[in-house]
Amino acid sequence: MPLKTILVGLTTKDNTATLLNFAVPLARKHGAHLIGLHTLEAIEVYPGIAMHIDAGVFAEFSRNQEEEADAIEAIFDAHTKTEDFVCEYRRVKAQSKTAADRIVESARAADLVIMAHADDDVDRYDQRGIQRTVIQQSGRPVIIVPLGYDGPEIGNKIVLGWSDTREAARAAHDLLMVANAEAEVTVLRVERNSSDELDDYDLLDLSSALARHDLNVNVRHVPQGAQGIGDVLVQSAFEQGAGLVVTGAFGHSNVYDFVVGATSHSLLRDAKLPVLFSK
């Protein structure tokens, strides 16, 4: 499927330049419509709590919101003003919904969503956990970019984390949108116990399917050892010079993720490379 609509979630001015340095070359390469979306926070008033908020407080709150949005728009314009593809900046009021809800609404019409890692130092309260919400609820692939990332364009070398799950299957086919012609794709299964690679029929079948898209595909089985699966994926990507990790996301229940921990959480928190998540 061609990549024709890219949505970039611009949460704060601190990460806007990093995201656009990543997204603009991708949009240029595909001739895609690039949308930069920033949400304005609403003051939450809780029923049953008697309180008076002075009009001046509302005015100052709104002024701060608009100043942040103006700063983000200025950065967006500086990165896109010389481009030939369509660039659109959206300033959306959260109103009675959360920032995540607003991004999810726009994401469902996009081919790909790009967001930054969480940054507790600058993210607004209503933006906490927004990456996970968009991945889980938008139905679209989401690339999460590390804070301050300044790596190469993605698409030439990709590591796909494979398991026998629906989410991994979605991820395998979503990577076709961003893979360059004749890109090197490593399909990697991280295992607790060694096994015969020739008996791994589903992985070999998938690799053949990806190769039919003119990709150079190789298969790897890597023991997990003492590391988490997310650490193994990122380490393998660095070893091979890959610019993108692709993986299925949040295939377990919330209870499992909370008690045991999961690959998606570790990659969202710690990955030093961009990661494409598919749910």
Show which of 145, 165, 191 is a domain's final residue: 145
Contact between residue 247 and residue 166 where contact means Cβ atoms under 8 Å apart: no
Looking at residue 52, its pLDDT comes to 53
Are 84 and 178 in the same domain?
no
The pLDDT value recorded for residue 222 is: 86
Edge to edge, the sheet with strand 184-191 lists 87-93, 33-40, 5-9, 112-116, 142-145, 275-278, 244-248, 157-161, 184-191, 216-223
**What pLDDT score was predicted for residue 237?**
93
Q: What are 58's two structure tokens?
A: 């509302």
Residue whose entry in the numeric block shows the structure tokens 């991994």: 168
Q: What is the structure's pLDDT at 190?
A: 85
Residue 112 shares a structural domain with residue 172:
no
> What's residue 60's pLDDT?
72
Tell me how far apart the terminal alpha carbons of the chain are, to the nearest angstrom: 17
DSSP 8-class letter at 180? P
pLDDT along the chain (279 residues), means of 10: 92 96 97 96 52 59 84 98 96 77 93 94 82 94 96 94 90 96 93 60 90 95 79 91 93 45 78 94
Pair (68, 162) in one structural domain: no
Q: What is the pLDDT of residue 197?
A: 55
Q: Are both 41 and 79 inside the same structural domain?
A: yes
What 227-232 contacts at long range (C-beta under 8 Å, 24+ apart), as own/partner pairs, is 228/261, 228/263, 228/266, 229/161, 229/190, 229/263, 229/266, 230/263, 230/264, 230/266, 230/267, 230/270, 230/271, 231/266, 231/270, 232/188, 232/190
Are 120 and 172 found together in one domain?
no
Token code pair at residue 147 = 């804070």
- The closest of 171, 42, 143 to 102, measured between CA atoms, is 42
The confidence score (pLDDT) of residue 95 equals 66
Are both 139 and 168 inside the same structural domain?
Answer: no
The confidence score (pLDDT) of residue 257 equals 43
Place of tokens 């299964």: 189
Domain of 171, in residue numbers: 157-278
Residues 113 and 173 grouped into a single domain: no
**Coil, strand, or helix at residue 5?**
strand
23 phi-psi bin (left φ>0, alpha ψ -120 to 50, beta other): alpha
* Cβ burial, residue 58 (10 Å; 0-12/13-18/19+): exposed
Residue 150 inside a domain? The answer is no
How many domains does the chain contain in total? 2
Give the model's pLDDT for residue 56.
65
pTM exceeding 0.85: yes
The encoded tokens of residue 3 equal: 């990549």
Q: What is the Cα–Cα distance from 113 to 148, expressed in whole angstroms?
A: 18
